[in-house]
């Protein structure tokens, strides 16, 4: 029996228990996967208590991904470059921190949507934690260039510089987004939460694959993309399931069928 959980605050909305239960049924293992509401100022105590009671791994969501990074005693390269952890595995005395967000996004784009990212031009909107979490796996797909645009240009430039050794990337302010065509646009901002669309040229969406990291509803970004002739408009449900699949394999060594779970959640 794998004793697993997801930590967050709030946490009631989480689909993780459903997803991981379906994974476990697929591969024939038993899991006990619970939602853990950690107090805002007590993640470390909550996580340590879960481990003390036999927990062997857990996911971490908002607002504890940096707390989880600090809690881990070892970090994967994904976690190191992201500066945040969304998956922890307990291995003896080691607490290993991983970040599966970027892997989840790339697997959804390449495996589920059939998009070859090599030699493509990718535009990422936003330079916060979500972008930092996805940049390394994206750059490992060898796109022609990856551009990061943010309201505060200096943040985008600094982030691009941090990842320059992993691939061709650059950063600039949102006002510098040109009308030129790109292959993929990824919305990694929190604008969708506030029901707003960023001020960028409408023509940049024309023919592009537009991907919003958010899921659950048609966001202003997705509506903008459809209105402006995007070739494909996608929400982040596939990424959610794929990052969970990567975490499940990290814990159990077994690779589940993410596509079947995505289909089940969409039905």
Domains of the chain: 2-99 (3.40.50.10860), 102-237 (3.40.50.720)
Q: In whole angstroms, how far apart are CA 200 and each of 24, 87, 149, 152, 197?
A: 43, 34, 10, 14, 9
Question: What's the pLDDT at 36?
Answer: 98
Give me the torsion for CA of 147, 148, 153, 159, rounded to 10°: -110
Contact 183, 121 (CB under 8 A): yes
Cα(58)–Cα(99) distance, integer angstroms: 12
Query: Coil, helix or strand for 267?
Result: coil
- Catalytic choice (3, 30, 35, 65): 65
pTM over 0.85: yes
Encode the chain (267 residues) as per-residue pLDDT tens digits.
999 999 999 999 999 999 999 999 999 999 999 999 999 999 999 999 999 999 999 999 989 999 999 999 999 999 999 999 999 999 999 999 999 999 999 999 999 999 999 999 999 999 999 999 999 999 999 999 999 999 999 999 999 999 999 999 999 999 999 999 999 999 999 877 677 889 999 999 999 999 999 987 889 999 999 999 999 999 999 999 999 999 999 999 999 999 999 999 988
Mark whether 65 is an active-site residue: yes
Contact 113, 234 (CB under 8 A): yes
Contact 243, 219 (CB under 8 A): no
């Amino acid at each position: 029996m794998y004793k697993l959980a997801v930590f967050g605050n709030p946490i009631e909305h989480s689909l993780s228990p459903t997803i991981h239960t379906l994974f476990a049924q697929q591969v024939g293992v038993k899991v006990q996967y619970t939602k853990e509401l950690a107090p805002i100022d007590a993640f470390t105590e909550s996580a340590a208590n879960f481990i003390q009671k036999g927990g062997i791994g857990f996911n971490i969501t908002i607002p504890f991904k940096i707390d989880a990074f600090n809690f881990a005693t070892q970090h994967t390269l994904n976690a190191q470059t992201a500066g945040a952890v969304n998956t922890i595995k307990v291995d003896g005395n080691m607490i290993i921190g991983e970040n599966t967000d970027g892997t989840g996004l790339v697997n959804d784009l390449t495996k589920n949507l059939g998009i070859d990212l090599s030699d493509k031009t990718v535009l990422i909107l936003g330079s916060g934690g979500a972008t930092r979490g996805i940049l390394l796996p994206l750059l490992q797909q060898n796109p022609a260039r990856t551009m990061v645009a943010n309201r505060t240009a200096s943040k985008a430039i600094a982030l691009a510089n941090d990842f320059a050794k992993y691939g061709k990337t650059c950063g600039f302010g949102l006002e510098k987004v040109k009308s030129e065509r790109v292959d993929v646009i990824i919305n990694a901002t929190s604008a969708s939460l506030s029901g707003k669309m960023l001020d960028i040229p409408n023509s940049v969406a024309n023919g592009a694959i537009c991907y919003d990291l958010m899921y659950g509803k048609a966001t202003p970004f997705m509506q903008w993309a459809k209105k402006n002739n995007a070739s494909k408009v996608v929400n982040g449900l596939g990424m959610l399931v794929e990052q969970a699949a990567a975490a499940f394999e990290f814990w159990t060594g077994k690779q589940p069928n993410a596509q079947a779970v995505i289909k089940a959640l969409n039905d």
